[in-house]
Every structure is written in C-alpha cells, then in structure tokens.
Structure 1
C-alpha cells in the first residue's frame, strides 16, 4: 500500500535547544520524524531533570529524563522521556507544533490502515535500533518510530529500550492516567492504552493546522 501525502518530506524544525528534527507529511498531518529531546520549554524555561527513581514516581509536577540516566548513549537516537505533567504545560513542542491528542493519533492510524497493521508501517525497518524480529516493520510512512522504552510510573525504573516505544497523547483518560500509543518489536499492531501520568514516555510533535 502506498500513502498519499500533501507535503511529503516537509523539511525540518528546531526546538529551543537547537535540536533539529526532520518532518514528514502523512495524509493531512505533518509529524516529526524523531522523538523529542528538548530540555527546555518553548519559552526557554528549563524542564526539571529527575534521575532518582523514587522521586520520579512520586512527582506531581513536570519532569524529563534520559533512559537509564544516560544521555550519551540514548539521547540522539531515542530522545528523552517525559512525564505527562510536562505534556500538560502545552510548552513542550516548538512554537507552531503540539503534542497530538488521542483523536489525532486515531487520524494517523486510520490513514495508514488501522490498529492491526499501523505499527509495522510506522516502525523503522531493520534491527539496528529495534530488537529481533521487529515484526512487520516496513516504515512505509517514513515515520521512523523508535523503541525508546519507558520509565515506570510506579517504580521509576527504566524498561524496554529497543523492545517497545511508548508515545504520549495530550488527552487524559481520567485524573491519574492519560492515553498513549505503544508499538512492540514482536508485533505490527499499534496499541492504545491509558497509563499512569507519572510514567516517562517518548514524545512526537504534530504541526498545528
């Protein structure tokens, strides 16, 4: 299956730290092709970096971290992990961009064929960054989904690098949880789950309409 895009590879965008992200048009949407790695909000305010697991799991305020607290190994490829309070500031993405809502994730997934195959079409192909077998991965959308793992919201531990990618939406499911999307190395599905807001997940920004 081929995908019609309005603007195809739509260029680049930079965050407040100067990190440059490639972008791609998929259907009517324009997405970042890399996971976000900014350490500041778009107004220049520094986001708190929390390394201690217990502190992380007890937070009720914005924070970010690097997987295994190791920016040298993981920053450039997999980006940062943010809790949902950082999402909720509406200042995480560059100006003119935003965290996708749950409904905007649905638009993307439906456009590329639905939940049961979208994961494979969104995942980076091969096993350089994904664990074997990276089921169904074609990256036919040029979305380059990468498995940055996550930070457990109850324990503050790091889990799943190369095995799974978790991405926040900006949509709450209840007072303590928010909707996210998950892709696994062993499936070509993409999964919708509501998970604790203290979790640390990857972020992809979507261009404002």
Structure 2
C-alpha cells in the first residue's frame, strides 16, 4: 500500500485500551464518532492508529499485515536498516519536522510521521516519528514487533516490548 491504512469501523476514545480486543484511534481525536474522526485533519493525512488486535484484522481481503521478517527483507533489499528509512520516507517538510540527508522516497512508499497513541491514552510524535505494526508477536507479555522512522534519521528501527500491543500504531498492508 502506498499510504497508511484508513479502515475505521469504530473509534475508541483515547483512554480506552486493550491488549486483546480491537481498538481504533485517530491522532488527537477524543470523540467516538466515526464520521467526526473521518472529518479530522489527522485521519485524512495520517490514517488510523490501531492496537495490535485491530491491526491484525484491518487489512482488506487479498492483503495482509507484514511480518517482522517481511519488514526486515524490505530493509535489506533497500541497502540495510541504516538507509532504508530514507528510501521509504516522504521527502521534504510537508509532514516531517525537518528534512534529512539521504531521504529520497525512491520507493514511493511515502512513509509519514503519524506518531502513536501511548499506553496512557496520549498521542505523541506526529511530525517527528512514524510507527508501523508487524504481524509478529514478541517474546514479552502483550508484545508485538513494529518498525519506526524518525525525522532525524534515514534509517529504520525495529522494536518489541512488553505491553506494546496496547499502543496505537499505523498499518501498511502487503498484497498477498
């Protein structure tokens, strides 16, 4: 997919969390109206933030949430994690806080800094960082792997930590 997923069957208030049931958030939106959320700037620019349970079921038929291995294969194909973010990230400063050396978006992936929804219900890092789920569960309780990109780097990182499934991150789907 060339943009962050915008599938939004319902809206979870920012203070609602779950490690097992699906939750859907729109950055900065505190209501529960789907129409209200879809009318917001952040929905239209950055898409929806999903907890892991929602992310696993969000991709349309014929598509899937990429595994951590698929994200790693993509990074390796693009020259490794230290440079892959620059080839995936939108260039310029329309959405990112600043431009960075090595950012070309030559893949057309156009990664945007949609930020994330933290465990405590706060939204953080829009304009600074983008986070995308993988379908791979982590080793810690309620953990799953994700990738991230930052405004001040041309690389990508991968991470997994306890309770990460509860947070809200962006989703990109891969065609089967």
TM, length-normalised to structure 1: 0.75
Secondary structure of 1:180's counterpart equals strand
User: What residue in structure 2 maps to residue 165 of structure 1?
Assistant: 130
Q: Which runs of 4+ in 1 moved over 2 A?
A: 133-136
Structure (1 or 2) with the larger CA radius of gyration: 1
Which whole-Å deviations, capped at 9, do the CAs of 1:13-55 have from their partners, x for residues lacking one?
A: xxxxxxxxxxxxxxxxxxx010001113xxxxxxx411142x2
Q: Answer 1 or 2: higher relative contact order, Cα 8 Å, separation at least 6.
A: 2
Give the drift of 1:74.
0.8
Q: How far apart, CA to CA, are the structure 2 residues paired with 1:39 and 1:118? A: 29
Q: How far apart, CA to CA, are the structure 1 residues paired with 2:48 and 2:85? A: 21
TM, length-normalised to structure 2: 0.89
Contact 2:19 2:165 in 1 (8 A): no
User: What residue in structure 2 maps to residue 190 of structure 1?
Assistant: 156
User: What residue in structure 2 maps to residue 207 of structure 1?
Assistant: 175
Contact 2:49 2:168 in 1 (8 A): yes
Secondary structure of 1:161's counterpart equals coil
User: What residue in structure 2 maps to residue 11 of structure 1?
Assistant: none
Aligned positions, number: 165
Residue 60 (1) aligns with residue 25 (2)? no
Structure 2 unaligned blocks of 5 or more: 30-36
Structure 1 or 2: more strand by fraction: 1
Contact 1:172 1:179 in 2 (8 A): yes
Q: How far apart, CA to CA, are the structure 1 residues paired with 2:90 and 2:155? A: 14
User: What residue in structure 2 maps to residue 43 of structure 1?
Assistant: none
Contact 2:86 2:155 in 1 (8 A): yes
Relative to 1, partners in 2 of residues 1:202 and 1:52: Cα closer, same or farther, differing over 3 Å? Answer: closer
RMSD: 1.4
